[in-house]
């Protein structure tokens, strides 16, 4: 018994087992199941047969899929740019000392804390085609003479979704970048000031290089979350009008869960995998390079 307990190999196995079990159960199994589904013609109530890559080919030839694929890149690109720019701006502002700083910081968290479904419902009411408070406001203040088609036009709908995503995701950027900013020694800023650097130069040559590692990590996390976004689109537009705002996740849901074509739905969602894999690979490479430096 003592010999058993003293065995390092056994102890290591025992200690690792729960983690391996959890990973296997909650990550590996669903993933393998998803891959199997995508290679089969499983539909609701019917056990599928292996069909090789037929679902992927069918998805690629599907015009709605292509729209959703393009939309996912467009949505992720612009939402990430806006979140980064506004989050950085907010972080720089909050890094200064002013009265009520703590209250402002706490308030800023609100969009992040409120459940996405709830906040998106509120936005949906604001963009409502008939009763939009924003339209009313713009009309009353004389900016518009006819209603803006916030959610009833594909292009407007996509930009509305980007606005809501930016609103919701900006605090995450701001807070993380703020944490990064606070690790930068004020002495460096002072030294740069004494050397005659103006605000922009100080940011570009002092703050930004030191903040870059944090920024990269935040951007990568955000890309992953935004690329696979579901709740926001599902509640705000449901992928409409005429599929103009579908993302890969919402279209996969419509095909796989609502229509019951589980194999095809799984294939659509797996199209996200290579993109996210590249993003994660780039991030790991960057982090390793930093560690090596």
Per CB under 8 A, residues contacting other proteins are 44-46, 58, 61-64, 128-131, 147, 149-154, 157, 237-244, 253-262
Q: How far is the CB of 72 from other proteins (least distance, A)?
A: 18
Q: How far is the CB of 42 from other proteins (least distance, A)?
A: 9
Q: Nearer to other proteins by C-beta: 69 or 253?
A: 253
Q: How far is the CB of 130 from other proteins (least distance, A)?
A: 5
In angstroms, the Cα distances linking 75 to 54, 95, 230, 244 are: 28, 29, 12, 12
d(CA 222, CA 279): 11
Q: Nearer to other proteins by C-beta: 84 or 252?
A: 252
Q: How far is the CB of 206 from other proteins (least distance, A)?
A: 47
d(CA 213, CA 271): 28
Question: 223, 275 in Cβ contact below 8 A?
Answer: no
Q: DSSP letter at 129?
A: T
Question: 218, 67 in Cβ contact below 8 A?
Answer: no
Q: Nearer to other proteins by C-beta: 153 or 216?
A: 153
Q: Nearer to other proteins by C-beta: 42 or 72?
A: 42
Question: 147, 136 in Cβ contact below 8 A?
Answer: no
Sequence-distant (≥ 6) Cβ neighbours of residue 52 within 8 angstroms: 39
d(CA 271, CA 287): 26
Q: Nearer to other proteins by C-beta: 153 or 221?
A: 153
Q: How far is the CB of 270 from other proteins (least distance, A)?
A: 18
Q: How far is the CB of 27 from other proteins (least distance, A)?
A: 19
**How many C-beta atoms lie closer than 10 Å to residue 228's C-beta?**
17
Bond from prior residue into 241 cis (ω within 30 degrees of 0): yes
- Residue with tokens 């903040």, as numbered in its chain: 211
Q: Nearer to other proteins by C-beta: 215 or 228?
A: 228
- Kindly tell me the sign of the dihedral angle through the C-alpha atoms of 52, 56, 62, 64: positive
Q: Nearer to other proteins by C-beta: 2 or 130?
A: 130
In angstroms, the Cα distances linking 255 to 200, 264, 274 are: 49, 7, 20
Where in the chain does DSSP place strands (E)?
Answer: none
Q: Nearer to other proteins by C-beta: 158 or 178?
A: 158
Q: How far is the CB of 126 from other proteins (least distance, A)?
A: 13
Q: How far is the CB of 57 from other proteins (least distance, A)?
A: 11
* Greatest distance between any 2 Cα atoms in the chain: 85
């Amino acid at each position: 018994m003592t010999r058993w307990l003293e065995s390092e190999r056994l102890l290591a196995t025992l200690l690792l087992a729960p983690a391996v079990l959890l990973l296997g159960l909650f990550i590996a199994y669903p993933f393998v199941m998803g891959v199997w589904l995508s290679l089969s013609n499983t539909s609701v109530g019917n056990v599928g047969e292996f069909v090789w890559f037929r679902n992927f080919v069918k998805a690629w030839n599907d015009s709605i899929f292509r729209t959703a694929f393009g939309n996912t890149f467009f949505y992720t690109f612009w939402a990430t740019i806006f979140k980064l720019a506004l989050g950085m701006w907010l972080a720089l502002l909050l890094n200064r000392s002013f009265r009520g700083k703590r209250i402002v910081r706490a308030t800023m968290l609100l969009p992040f804390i409120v459940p996405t479904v709830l906040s998106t419902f509120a936005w949906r009411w604001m963009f409502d085609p008939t009763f939009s408070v924003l339209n009313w406001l713009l009309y009353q203040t004389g900016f518009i003479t006819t209603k803006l088609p916030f959610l009833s036009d594909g292009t407007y709908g996509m930009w509305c979704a980007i606005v809501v995503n930016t609103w919701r995701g900006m605090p995450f950027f701001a807070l993380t970048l703020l944490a990064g900013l606070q690790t930068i020694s004020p002495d460096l800023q002072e030294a740069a000031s004494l050397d005659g650097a103006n605000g922009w130069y100080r940011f570009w040559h002092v703050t930004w290089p030191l903040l870059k590692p944090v920024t990269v990590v935040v951007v990568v996390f955000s890309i992953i979350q935004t690329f696979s976004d579901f709740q926001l689109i599902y509640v705000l537009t449901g992928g409409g009008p005429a599929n103009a705002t579908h993302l890969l996740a919402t279209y996969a849901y419509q095909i796989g869960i609502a229509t019951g074509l589980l194999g095809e739905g799984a294939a659509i969602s797996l199209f996200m995998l290579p993109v996210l894999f590249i993003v994660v690979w780039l991030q790991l490479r960057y982090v390793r390079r930093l560690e090596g430096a």
